Amino acid sequence: MGTFGRRLLLAVDAKGYGGVDVVTQREWQEAIRRLLEEAAGAAGLDWEQWATQVGGDSVFAVLPQGASEPALVDPFMRQLEAGLRIFNRNRRDEARLRLRAAVHFGTASPAANGFEGRAPVEIGRLLDSRVLKAALAAAPDAPLALAVSATVFNDVIGEAYTTIRPQEFREARISEKEYAGRAWIRVPGYDVNALDLGDTEPGAQGGAGSAAAVDARPSSAPTAPGNTVVQEFNGTVHAQGAVFGISK
């Protein structure tokens, strides 16, 4: 039987890495590691204790047990954004480093080749989701777009453990491969609710984060007390004694 554990996870990935030259790729790789380490230090997180897997323009990190979720969501991300802006200063547009980042908390245990569990898979889906990519694309001056899982949003941001307000996030439906769930998106410096993300997620009606996408449910789902159910029919219906509308 494997070891059970819940851990705090971070994943980042650079936009457009495959489209830049080798010199720029090398600069980005060096910058990503340095900026993550600097952000960890500023947030009081022990970078040396992080278990990291690096893939060129991407980093997946499992933080040690007891690592602060508010610290990773708030001061870490603020420092990372500031570091990216400094790095990008005076660089041509195509050489600017822009990152997608995802934060999740869930089951992740050491395995023969990294970590196993649901959380490493789920954070990968958040990071690669179309809605997070669309958020960064829709904010051309932003160096960072962040997605947090429902667990992190509800337990950390929603409970006011950070200086970042819940209103700065936009709820969106994620559907990637075998994963389906929700994420909360933030683009520092932008009103994420004003960004045009389009129909970026399968099954999202009216665009990710819209009322239709967030509140959609099967027509057969129970109706909450206090709601009014009305069915409309065209033509003549022969159903003596039947009740087609129920008002509570």
pLDDT tens-digit profile of 213-244?
A: 333 333 333 333 334 333 444 444 444 444 44
Share of the chain above pLDDT 90, in %: 65
| The predicted structure's pLDDT at residue 178 | 72
The residue whose two tokens read 């934060």 is: 103
pLDDT at 236: 42
Radius of gyration of the chain (CA): 22
Express each pLDDT in 197-207 by its tens digit: 764 443 343 33
Residue 120 and residue 110: Cα distance in Å, rounded? 11
Nearest CA to 99 out of 118, 119, 79 is that of: 79
Q: Which residues contact 13 (CB under 8 A, 6 or more apart)?
A: 57, 58, 99, 100, 127, 128
Q: What are phi and psi of 22, to 5 degrees?
A: -65, -40
To the nearest whole percent, how much of the chain has pLDDT over 70?
A: 77
**In the prediction, which pLDDT does 133 show?**
95
Which amino acid is residue 167, in one-letter code? Answer: Q
Is residue 148 within 8 A of residue 73, CB to CB? The reply is yes
- Signed CA dihedral, 207, 140, 122, 193: sign only: negative
The arithmetic mean of pLDDT across residues 156-169, rounded, is 96
Q: Quick one: pLDDT at residue 197?
A: 75
Q: Which residues of 188-213 are buried (b: 16+ CB within 10 A; e: fewer)?
A: bebebeebebeebbeebeebbbbeeb
pLDDT digits (tens, 9 = 90+) for 55-73: 889 999 999 999 999 999 9
4-59: pLDDT as tens digits: 678 999 999 999 999 999 999 999 999 999 999 999 999 999 999 999 999 889 99
Work out the number of other CB atoms within 10 angstroms of the CB of residue 84: 22
pLDDT at 210: 38
pLDDT number for residue 243: 40
Output the pLDDT for position 2: 55
Q: Is the pLDDT of residue 184 over 50?
A: yes
- Reported as a pLDDT band with limits 50, 70 and 90, residue 113 is confident
